[in-house]
Amino acid sequence: MHRELAVDGELLTIRETVRMRGLRPIRVMWGHHPTFGSDLLDGPFEIQSGARHVAIDDHYDPEANPLKPGASGGWPSVPGKTGPFDLSRPEGPMAALACLQVFDGAWASIRRLDDSVAMALSWDRDVFPYAWLWVELEGTLDAPWSGKARLIGVEPNSTWPANGLADAARRGGRLLTLQPGGEITAAVRLHVFKPRGRVVGVDAKGHADCERGA
């Protein structure tokens, strides 16, 4: 794998090229695991995304999970254990794992509602048709979090479900096939910025578009 990182003002671009040197095709999972916390979650916030569909993990069901394992719905309202749950406004204590999919645009954002800071993550949908959404808001009392972790993972990935290569293959999940001598290139872009209202999209270069006053 060859990886290039480029910073241009508020924008970080990670561009990777995988070259297959083996003699026979192999199936793999390929993804990134960016997580966000600190000042971004230090106050009321919202998540937005270009996803149209959400699948809730059917294996991950800790005590603080408000989502209905194995269920699915349209973004942002998904089935919860006590009724519809709005994934765009999660609150702690909470621990949950879901998958964003079927994108109009392959992006997701987190914005502090006071417009002090925001991030927008975008990626190449052809290679990463899914994004795992991991929400840990002081919901896991066991180690290593001990009820203190406050973070959200937005994780572009080639594959769902998210429980490892063997499990995905057994359950008929989409896997990425690398062919001998072949190359695959993909990019992930992170824009960290001071917003001017609700994030409504991300342009081709990775910069967020905001709806003023929203």
pLDDT at 44 (0 to 100):
97
pLDDT at 212 (0 to 100):
74
Per residue in 51-86, pLDDT (tens digit) is 999 999 999 999 999 999 999 999 999 999 999 999
Q: For residues 118 and 194, is the Cβ–Cβ distance under 8 A?
A: yes
pLDDT at 40 (0 to 100):
98
DSSP 112-124: ETTSS-EEEEEE-
Average model confidence (pLDDT) for the chain? Answer: 97
pTM of the entire structure? 0.96
pLDDT at 29 over 70: yes
pLDDT at 214 over 60: no
CB atoms within 10 A of CB 179: 12
Q: Are strands 26-28 and 72-74 parallel, antiparallel or unpaired?
A: unpaired
* C-alpha to C-alpha distances, 190 to 54, 197, 211, nearest whole angstrom: 22, 18, 19
Per residue in 120-161, pLDDT (tens digit) is 999 999 999 999 999 999 999 999 999 999 999 999 999 999
How far apart are the C-alpha atoms of 107 and 177, rounded to whole Å?
24
27 — phi, psi (to 5°)?
Answer: -105, 135
